[in-house]
Every structure is written in structure tokens, then in C-alpha cells.
Amino acid sequence: MKRLLATLLALLAASALAEDLGAKGPVYTPDKDGREQMKDIVRKKQNSGEVDKYWRDYQAKTIDAIKNPAPLGIKSSYAPRLEMRELRFTIPQDYKNESGQVVVRKGTVVEPLKIQPLTSGLIFIDGRDQRQIDYAIMRGRKEPLKIVLTAGSHYDLRVRYKDANWWGGKTIPFYFDQKKMIISSLQRLYGIDLNSVPVALTQRGDRLAVEYGVIQ
């Protein structure tokens, strides 16, 4: 309500400050001051509950979008397949510090797994598929893995598994790859196209193991 009133008052203030360019033809006095008319509209909408309903609906839609994000459109496949990847990318330009000194030169090859080994792997699943959920939990109890959804509600799954034992905790922390940030980064930097789930990413030596499907 406050935001709506502020917007209306701002529009009225801008109108009051506009340059008077004169009038041509007959001039009629309005029945009621325009500001009072606008205030009447706001009061009517407030009294009818329309303003409160708008904000309730907006809040409900926002919360629902957070709890139930749209699926990322990645298909499911249980067929096992293993790919071993060397993670490396080339710096596209010189990077300088605040003093203007070049600290990383263009063309430098970076191998992140050699710089900072993974402390936890990732497993991507469709959170609407119970078989994939069970598989991810089974694997995650044997090795450190973070479960990332490409579809389904991470919120509902956290509630459902809030009393499950998980690496010293009592809740399994499901995540969602918002806007494909992780998947897009893997494709852009390393050419890894995660085109089906379930798929687990773990470190083996200085390479990344990409395990598609259900590995026995």
C-alpha cells in the first residue's frame, strides 16, 4: 500500500511541476481536484481489500517459485556411462591488480583440480523420480556428494528427509541448480555437457569422473 501511494504521489508531483504551455479553446474547471480523485481510487481499492489481495498473491507466487522452481529440461537415462575429463581452461585476457601489475597473463592454462582438489562431489538428479532420489542418497552415504536437482522441489525433499542421517547431520541438504548456473559453467569452461540425469561428478586423481546413469 505504501509503495502504491508513493508512486501515485510521485506522479502527481511531477504533473504539478510540468511547464504551463497555455490553453487553446474553452477551459473547464474539473469537478474535483485530480489528486483527490487519485486518493479516492486508492482508498476504494484499500477498503475493498484489492491492494492487500495483490500483495498476498505476489508473495504467494514468489514463495512458490522458490520452493518449486521450473524444471531445467534435462532428460533422464539410467544407462551407465563413464567419461574421464581433464579440467583445464585458458585465461582469455590479462588480469591486473589494483596497482596495474599483471598477475595472470592471457593464455595461462589453469587446472583447478591440481590447485584445489574437490572435497565433495556432485550428483545431479530429477527430484521427481524416486529411483534417482534413492540412488543419490545411497551413493551420498558412501562418499561425500552434494545432491543437486534439475527438476522437482528441493524444499519438499528437505522437509521429507529432515530426520535422515547425513554426514553427521539429521537433514539431507538437497539443492537446485538455479538458472543452470553449475551446468552452464561446466559446459562453458570445460566442454562438459550434462545432457541426462542421474549423473555424478567426482575427482579421481587429477581428473574428473563423469558417471551417467545408475552405476552398480
Q: pLDDT digit string (tens) for 162-211? A: 988 888 788 899 999 999 999 999 999 889 999 999 999 999 998 999 99
Reduce the DSSP state of residue 152 to 3 states and report it.
coil
Question: What pairs with residue 148 in β-bridges?
Answer: 124, 175
Q: Which residue has the cell 521450473?
A: 70
Q: What pLDDT sits at residue 129?
A: 98
Are 212 and 78 contacting, i.e. CB atoms less than 8 angstroms apart?
A: no
Digit-coded pLDDT (tens) for 63-102: 766 778 999 999 999 999 999 998 887 888 888 888 888 8
Q: Which helix (H) or strand (E) holds 146?
A: strand 145-151
Query: What's the DSSP call for residue 163?
Result: T
pTM of model > 0.85: no
The residue written with cell numbers 505504501 in the block is 2
